[in-house]
Amino acid sequence: MLEVIEKIREEIRKVIIGQDEMIEALIIGLVCDGHILLEGVPGLAKTTTINSFAKSLGLNFKRVQFTPDLLPSDIIGTEIYDPKNNEFKIKKGPVFTNILLADEINRAPAKVQSALLEVMQEKQVTIGDHTFKIDKPFLTLATQNPVEQEGAYNLPEAQLDRFMLKVVVGYNTKEEEVEIARRVANGSYESIKQVAYKENIDTLKSEISKVHIDKEVEEYIVSLVFATREPDRYGLDEIAEYISFGVSPRASIDLYKGAKAYAYLKGRDFVTPVDVAHLSKEVMRHRLILSYEAEAEGISSDEIIDKVIKKVPMP
């Protein structure tokens, strides 16, 4: 089934130059049923990548542009009165899809985030007195702009915790940017074809579930997580004051699932500690709650996770 993954990559690369980490994260999210948060400045093709990804899979795809005046009913749907039949009817919103692109997710207020949270966690939607299950697979792929201040909100910790991975999308290399400019100026992008189907996704999930993970690697995953909660016990006294709350149990679950998927993408049927370390930042950076001291001194989650990875011994 690795050839299916390679075909998906090839289709996306028809319109996206570089950004391999972002593409890899989307594939891991797909096979692990995990939501993905992409953070980066405007113009890095986050939205285009997600759109291309959905097209290559042939899955239903909806996009919602999050704005400060967005209402919960704009994303989940609402009851509409039908005067002809003297009854209320359900009008379903864009969350009734397979891939939901929540563009600039940090621009919408708390009520909207709360409505989205139910869909992300429970895979269901409540409209009035009615509850509907969402078709599988269902992924929320969200983007946010780290430099926006006007009309932007911080996402609640409970919602951030529901994202399996947070990928920080960086600029392309000079060579890649030349190729981007050339393709856009000449309009030389190819159209994207569907190269995978739902049954392929189910087969991939089944194969990934068989990837072996040693007890020592399992303990390594949990040790990394616990080092963010009890840094003193792991000889990390210098970072203790910078952490208000360590990462949640979902970090252990997602790191476990993600490491198996990553190993499979690399063509292996077993997980190595390097696989775990590779995904640690993406899994933990948005779940680590920093103290006021860390913010005052400009210390980031990534710096703290780097210290944790260096200190916790690899099996």
Condensed to tens digits (0 to 9), the pLDDT of residues 253-303 reads 999 999 999 999 999 999 999 999 999 999 999 999 999 999 899 899 999
Query: Distances in Å between the alpha carbon of 81 and those of 78, 115, 135, 166?
Result: 10, 22, 26, 40
**Lowest-confidence segment of 95-99, 100-104, 127-131, 141-145 by average pLDDT:** 127-131
Q: Give the integer Cα–Cα distance in Å for 165 and 106.
A: 16
Tens-place pLDDT, residues 24-72: 999 999 999 999 999 888 888 888 888 899 999 988 889 999 988 899 9
Q: Would the pLDDT of 1 be above 80?
A: no
CA-wise closest residue to 31 among 258, 263, 283, 212: 258
Instruction: Give residue 303's pLDDT.
Output: 94
Q: Give the integer Cα–Cα distance in Å for 40 and 48.
A: 13
Q: Would the pLDDT of 215 be above 60?
A: yes
Q: Give the integer Cα–Cα distance in Å for 306 and 315.
A: 17
**DSSP output for 195-245:** ---HHHHHHHHHHHHT-B--HHHHHHHHHHHHHHH-GGGGT-HHHHTTEEE
Q: Would the pLDDT of 153 be above 80?
A: no
Q: Give the integer Cα–Cα distance in Å for 160 and 162.
A: 5
Instruction: Give residue 290's pLDDT.
Output: 92
* Residue 147 pLDDT level (bands cut at 50, 70, 90): low
The number of helix segments (H) and strand segments (E) in the chain equals 14, 11
Q: Would the pLDDT of 187 be above 80?
A: no
Q: Would the pLDDT of 125 be above 70?
A: yes
Instruction: Give residue 15's pLDDT.
Output: 87
Q: What is the spatial order of strands in the sheet that 99-103 belongs to? A: 61-65, 99-103, 139-144, 35-39, 163-168
Across the chain, mean pLDDT equals 89
Tell me which range, 1-15, 99-113, 134-148, 212-226, is most confidently predicted by mean pLDDT: 212-226
**DSSP output for 44-62:** S-HHHHHHHHHHHHT--EE
Host H or E run for residue 272: none
Class of residue 159 by CB neighbours under 10 A (exposed 0-12, middle 13-18, buried 19+):
buried
* Residue 162 pLDDT level (bands cut at 50, 70, 90): very high
Instruction: Give residue 150's pLDDT.
Output: 58
Kindly list the structural domains of the chain, giving each domain's residue range(s) and its CATH number in brackets, ordered by start. 2-199 (3.40.50.300), 210-311 (1.10.8.80)
